[in-house]
Amino acid sequence: MAAILAIVFAAAAGFAFVVSIFVIVIIGVHREERYLTFSNTTAPGAVALLARIVLGRYVRKERRRQRGGYPDDLASSREPSFRDHSVGPRR
């Protein structure tokens, strides 16, 4: 009987966790849409920040592009493309 009670408790706790995360995401996305800040780097509050984490919006921080269009760590390691080659003299 105790094993069944533990399984029911674990299922109820898991369901409550999922519902609470669902509510947090709904509230956070509503705040993002209200203040139109989803494209900004800062969230308008703690609930919106949690919603961003759950939705995976800022799991990996995005770097700003350098002048050449490549982040500085990739600029030196990238292979030259066909645009980087000389086309030769024009006739």
Q: Domain locations in the chain? A: 18-60
The pLDDT tens digits of the residues spanning 6-56 come to: 999 999 999 999 999 999 999 998 888 888 777 777 788 889 888 888 888
Q: Determine the Cα–Cα distance for residues 41 and 58; give it in Å rounded to an integer.
A: 8
Q: Determine the Cα–Cα distance for residues 35 and 37; give it in Å rounded to an integer.
A: 6
Determine the distance from the C-alpha atom of residue 90 to the mean position of all C-alpha atoms in its chain, rounded to a whole number: 47
**Burial annotation 80-89 (CB, 10 A radius, 16+ → b, else e):** eeeeeeeeee
Read off the pLDDT band of 85 (50, 70, 90): low
| pLDDT score for 52 | 85
| pLDDT score for 36 | 79
Identify the CA nearest to 23 among candidates 58, 47, 49: 47
Backbone φ/ψ region at 43: left (φ over 0), alpha (ψ -120 to 50), beta: beta
